Amino acid sequence: MKFYTSIPKRLKPYFESELANYRNEYATGNLKNAWNHLERAHIIGQKYPIAHTFVHWKMLQFGFKIKSGKEILGQIPRLVFGGVKSFVGKVPLGNPGGSNVPPLKPFPIEKELQDIFVKAGVS
């Protein structure tokens, strides 16, 4: 079993870019695009406990912002267990992380994100 820790240096700029895009869209009130960037950050960082947990924290805050009880309640177990699952390498790859999808279901990874993983030299 492989234990994951922090996000690789070559992948981190892509993760941080998605978070910056999230903040920009959120600040301008474009919540749909903001959420999309959180989902992309989730997919990029989900193998790494700190990054994974951080995105779920941002998703929980987003749930409060939009006053979505479903999102808030859905993010709490993800926030608690997501990082642990990352640490032991048991994450459902491609899962966007929101409460609108099953937490353990893998999803296909869009081509643009696949290319990011290739460029960063991670699989």
- Asked if residue 5 is part of any domain, the answer here is no
Please return the burial class of 4, using the count of CB atoms within 10 Å of its CB with bins 0-12, 13-18 and 19+: buried
d(C-alpha 2, C-alpha 89), whole Å: 6
- Asked if residue 7 is part of any domain, the answer here is no
**pTM score:** 0.93
- Asked if residue 95 is part of any domain, the answer here is yes
- Asked if residue 37 is part of any domain, the answer here is yes
Determine the structural domain holding residue 105 and report its residue range.
12-120
Reported as a single tens digit per residue, the pLDDT across 52-97 is 999 999 999 999 999 999 999 999 999 988 888 887 778 899 999 9
- Asked if residue 55 is part of any domain, the answer here is yes
**3-state secondary structure labels for all residues of 39-73:** HHHHHHHCCCHHHHHHHHHHHHHHHHHCCCHHHHH
Q: By mean pLDDT, which of 1-10, 17-26, 90-99 is the weakest?
A: 1-10
Confidence category of residue 6, pLDDT binned at 50, 70, 90: confident
The total number of structural domains in the chain stands at: 1
More confident residue, 83 or 112: 112
- Asked if residue 107 is part of any domain, the answer here is yes
